[in-house]
Amino acid sequence: MSTNGSFSHIDEQGGVRMVDVGSKPESTRQAVAATTVQLAPTTFALLRDQALPKGDVLTTAQVAGIMAAKQTAQLIPMCHPLPLSQIDIQFELDQDTAKIYIEALAATTAPTGVEMEALVAAQIAALTIYDMCKAVQKDIVIADTRLIYKSGGRSGTYDVRD
C-alpha cells in the first residue's frame, strides 16, 4: 500500500500500473536473498567432486544467477530495470546434511530497491543446480527462499542475519 492508503500498483480504474519512481532520490542499495537446495548424499558427493554428467554445476549456477538478476525487469512485470553495480552468488556446501546454501547479493544506485534481483538470482542459481542434477536425482528440494538483508532507500536496513 502507498502512503495514502491506496495500492501502489493499481490505478484509479483498478488496472495494474508500474509505480513512478522518477521523483525518488537515488541511493545506494543492496539486497541479499538466500535459498537452499537439498540433495541426496550420493548426488551431493557427485556435485562436490564435479562428477555429474553436465559438468561444473556451481560455476554454471553462479553464471546463471548473475544473468538472471540482469533480466529481472523482463521477468517480473512491475519491476523497474536497474543499473546493477554488483551481483554476487555464493555457495556453502554442508556435507552432513547434503544441502547447498545459496546467497545472492545485488547492488545498485537507483531510486528503487534490488530485492527482486537478489531473489531471482538465488532462485535461478538453485534451479540451475536442479537442472544439472536431475539426471541422477528427481526428488531435489529447493526451499526457504527469502530476503535476508536489504539496505538503502526510505525504509532503511532490514537484516535477519543477526
Q: How many Cβ atoms from other residues are within 10 Å of residue 83's Cβ?
A: 8
Can 131 be counted among the known catalytic residues? yes
CA distance 110 to 85: 10
Catalytic residue from among 11, 131, 139, 144: 131
Residue 44 phi, psi dihedral angles, 5° rounding:
-55, -45
SS3 of residue 25 by DSSP: coil
Contact 141, 38 (CB under 8 A): yes
Q: CA-based angle 69:58:83, to the nearest 5? A: 15
**Which residues, other chains included, contact 105 with Cβ-Cβ below 8 Å and sequence gap of 6+?**
30, 31, 32, 86, 87, 88, 89, 90, 118
The catalytic residues are 131
